Structure 1
Amino acid sequence: MCSNYRPVGNKDLPFFDVSSIEGDTPAGDVYPGSAAPLIYLPGDNAPRAAVMGTFGLLPFWAKEQSLARRTYNARSETVADKPSFRNAWRKRQLCIVPAMSIYEPCYETGKAVWWAIQRADGMPMALAGLWERKAWGEEMPSWSFTMLTVNANDHPVMGRFHKPSDEKRTTVILDGAQIERWLSASSEAQMRELLRPCDPDLLTTAPGRLGP
């Protein structure tokens, strides 16, 4: 699971074939309820677009913005059935969450130590997500998003994180052509084909967090 991460800045958006985003991207790390960029396809044959959204999906029926603190991750095994996510899943409201690093706790020392997980080549990460849109007024974005997760018990990198007794989970980290395949998926089968842990060689890890 991923409850906080370092988003990309405006200068990193061209990596995802997006030129700009309206407004300023966050300067530091993002937590559930914070605003951060998401990238999606506005329509068939349309170029990718980036907007600011709340980290934590807020479905059309949500009454409280605080729900975002419980909907920032969606389990791929149950996403089609859970009330918070099934509308976005059924409508294929697909996005990627652009990140420079995600953070997870490692217990190998006997206590929780936060580690940063990044791409080994230093490029931004593309995390598979879902989006919703609901008007909240001027106090927060109308867009919101969640990150999809899959089991990582056997993954040599992501299996190191979380408590020893917990199921190991990982965000879905897309690479190369997988990004376009996810954004343009036209069926549930095409979506599910991409919901799996990434190649461990794609990642590097280290204790601590990114600098300011």
Structure 2
Amino acid sequence: MCGRYVLTHEEHLLEEWLEAALDIYLKPRYNIAPTQPIPIARIEPETKRRHITFAFWGLIPSWSKDPSIGSKLINARSETLREKPSFKGNFKYRRCLIPASGFYEWKAITKGPKTPHYIRMLDEYPFAFAGLWDTYLSPDGSEVDTATIITTQANPLIRVLHQRMPVIIPREHFDQWLNPDNIKATNLDKLLIPYPADEMTYYPVSTDVNTVKNDRPDLITPTSLFS
């Protein structure tokens, strides 16, 4: 699964890399958690162009009468996207990219609390999770965009930490993933695979990341497993 992540790359780099108009202000984030607003890149229905906007992390389907469901839908398993009512419509027409610099996973290495590990690309470039989004009409009549991160089986590197990992869309497939007219199963399923392990790395970090309110650069500083 994916329950915390990091986005520290500069705005202008993300705009160029995603080839999307930035409609929001971004600051470096070192401990992004569920229910918080996160940047997503999507095709705007009106303009048919890519835009980067905010959505709350935790999908609330447009038909839901219970907004608390969002906290349970921070991830979507790639294997059941076409079956679950919360995801199947969005998988067809409302796919998005969620830019990231890295993400965290926890594993019990020694006795005591699980140790957090920071996972990133070897070249330290940004990458994009595969996501779904929807718009929920809140009781006060306002529209609220929400999103979820799609997961798949972990690659050999990540499997040491967890059996699942976020789906990461390579840049050359951004168009294919975002295009709402692309609904063929064969076109989309081949993107829902583990990202190559040889392009990624991870290392242990401080348990300070366990506390959501902590959001500072040293959270991604390597630490000893036995410190």
TM-score (norm 2): 0.80
Q: Secondary structure, in 3 states, of the residue corresponding to 2:128?
A: strand
Cα distance, 1:137 vs structure 2 = 7.1
**Residue type of the partner of 2:135?**
R
Rounded Cα–Cα distance in structure 2 between residues aligned with 1:140 and 1:36: 18
Q: What runs of 5+ residues in structure 2 fail to find an aligned partner?
A: 210-215, 219-227
Q: Identical aligned pairs, as a percentage?
A: 27
Range with greater deviation from structure 2 (25-34 or 197-206): 25-34
Task: Output aligned runs, 1:118-197, within 5 Å.
Answer: 118-136=120-138, 142-152=144-154, 155-162=155-162, 168-184=163-179, 185-197=182-194
Q: Secondary structure, in 3 states, of the residue corresponding to 1:201?
A: helix
Change in 2 beyond 3 A, CA 1:65/1:28: farther
Structure holding more helix per residue:
2
Q: What runs of 5+ residues in structure 1 fail to find an aligned partner?
A: 163-167
Task: Output aligned runs, 1:66-85, within 5 Å.
Answer: 66-85=68-87
Change in 2 beyond 3 A, CA 1:201/1:140: farther
Rounded Cα–Cα distance in structure 1 between residues aligned with 2:28 and 2:62: 25
Change in 2 beyond 3 A, CA 1:85/1:26: farther
Q: Pick from 195, 199, 203: which aligns with 1:202? A: 199
Q: Secondary structure, in 3 states, of the residue corresponding to 2:203?
A: strand
Whether the 8 Å CA contact 2:2–2:165 is kept in 1: the answer is yes
Q: Report the counterpart of residue 33 of structure 1 in structure 2.
A: 35
Cα distance, 1:24 vs structure 2 = 4.4
Change in 2 beyond 3 A, CA 1:139/1:27: farther
Cα distance, 1:69 vs structure 2 = 1.1
Range with greater deviation from structure 2 (11-20 or 113-122): 11-20
Rounded Cα–Cα distance in structure 1 between residues aligned with 2:34 and 2:129: 15
Q: Secondary structure, in 3 states, of the residue corresponding to 1:53?
A: strand
Cα distance, 1:175 vs structure 2 = 1.6
TM-score (norm 1): 0.85
Residue deviations 1:69-116, cap 9 Å, x none?
110100111111112212212x32110111111111123335511111
**Residue type of the partner of 2:177?**
W
Rounded Cα–Cα distance in structure 2 between residues aligned with 1:39 and 1:137: 26
Range with greater deviation from structure 2 (2-11 or 65-74): 2-11
Q: Report the counterpart of residue 99 of structure 1 in structure 2.
A: 100
Aligned residue pair count? 204
Rounded Cα–Cα distance in structure 2 between residues aligned with 1:180 and 1:204: 26
Cα distance, 1:66 vs structure 2 = 2.1
RMSD of Structure 2 on Structure 1 (CA) = 2.6
Q: Secondary structure, in 3 states, of the residue corresponding to 2:3?
A: coil
Q: Secondary structure, in 3 states, of the residue corresponding to 2:188?
A: helix
Q: Pick from 44, 55, 58: which aligns with 2:57? A: 55
Q: Report the counterpart of residue 223 of structure 2 in structure 1.
A: none
Change in 2 beyond 3 A, CA 1:130/1:50: same
Rounded Cα–Cα distance in structure 1 between residues aligned with 2:51 and 2:76: 23
